[in-house]
A = this chain, B = another copy of it.
Amino acid sequence: MPSKVSSSSKDGNSPKISEATVSRLPAYYRALSQLADAAQVRVSSEELAALTGVSSAMLRKDLSHLGSYGTRGVGYEVEFLRYQISREMGLNNDWSVVIVGVGNLGRALAHYGGFGSRGFRVVALVDADQTLIGTKVKCGAEGKTVELLVHALSDLEDVIKETNARLGVVATPAESAQVVSDRLVKAGIRSILNFAPVHLSVPEGVDVRKVDLASELQILAFHEQRKAV
């Protein structure tokens, strides 16, 4: 059994952070970034919890899984905690992202500031549409925009190899999503963000996260309907 003392920078085994906790870390990270921008030095679990919409007890337990980075009676140091979370989540390395599907959504994603900043960089755009291939699309939010060439879907493997992309975004129509996914996986991508409204089946070891706009609306509608009793 490994010692429990503050897991040093390169702990051999994973201390097993629960999935629920992982899903909340980004929110903590963002709130801490905001506080840092506002030059706030310290923050209590209560305050940070309020900013992120969780209970303070849950926040403390989540953070305790990363290590004991707070000071009792005082709170957490904003910059220090932010750094610890970013390190834990691997936001220090920067991650290369390939977006497949340069329709309205794909383009919006390419422009999206949250992608460009904080560790993520869109390095390649791919589409099957002949009329799009070869055109240039602006990537990144204002500040550091880059123009990227849209590559042919048939070059997907080469593009991934050349750009060293490790994260794949599927923003294609539902019909082509599975095929694209298969090719991403074959090209070595093991983490996929899927915006197409279908379930992607992938081999073990590959992670898929799904963002489904229509589903979210449907869930809202369900609850909305219940309210109107």
* Given A211-B213, A214-B114; A224-B191 close (CB under 8 Å): yes
For the complex, what is the distance from the CA of A29 to the CA of B214, rounded to whole Å? 11
Are B219 and A26 in contact (CB-based, < 8 A)?
Answer: yes
Are A90 and B222 in contact (CB-based, < 8 A)?
Answer: yes
Which of A1-9, A39-47, A72-80, A104-112 forms part of the interface with chain B? A104-112
Set of chain B residues within 8 Å of A105, measured between Cβ atoms: 108, 112
Q: Provide the main secondary structure of the chain A interface.
A: helix
Are B199 and A220 in contact (CB-based, < 8 A)?
Answer: no
Which residues of chain A from 11 to 42 have a CB within 8 Å of any chain B CB? 14, 22-23, 25-27, 29-31
Are B222 and A115 in contact (CB-based, < 8 A)?
Answer: no
Q: Does A52 touch B at the CB level, under 8 Å?
A: yes
Category for how many chain A residues contact B = 35 or more
Chain B nearest CB from A46 CB (Å) reads: 14
Chain B nearest CB from A228 CB (Å) reads: 9
Q: Does A167 touch B at the CB level, under 8 Å?
A: yes
Chain B nearest CB from A138 CB (Å) reads: 10
Q: Does A131 touch B at the CB level, under 8 Å?
A: no
Chain B nearest CB from A225 CB (Å) reads: 4
Are B220 and A191 in contact (CB-based, < 8 A)?
Answer: yes
Chain B nearest CB from A4 CB (Å) reads: 19
Are B221 and A89 in contact (CB-based, < 8 A)?
Answer: yes
Set of chain B residues within 8 Å of A223, measured between Cβ atoms: 22, 191, 207
Q: Does A186 touch B at the CB level, under 8 Å?
A: no
Which of A57-65, A91-99, A146-154 forms part of the interface with chain B? A91-99
Q: Considering only CB atoms, which chain B residue lies closest to A120 in the complex?
A: B217
For the complex, what is the distance from the CA of A123 to the CA of B97, rounded to whole Å? 34
Are A193 and B215 in contact (CB-based, < 8 A)?
Answer: no
| Given pairs A50-B201, A90-B225, A91-B218, 12 additional interface contacts (CB within 8 A) | A22-B223, A30-B197, A89-B222, A95-B221, A105-B108, A108-B108, A117-B214, A191-B221, A193-B216, A193-B217, A207-B224, A211-B216
Give the 9 A-B residue pairs with the shortest CB-CB distance, closest first: A114-B214, A90-B225, A26-B215, A108-B108, A104-B108, A53-B199, A191-B220, A26-B218, A104-B111
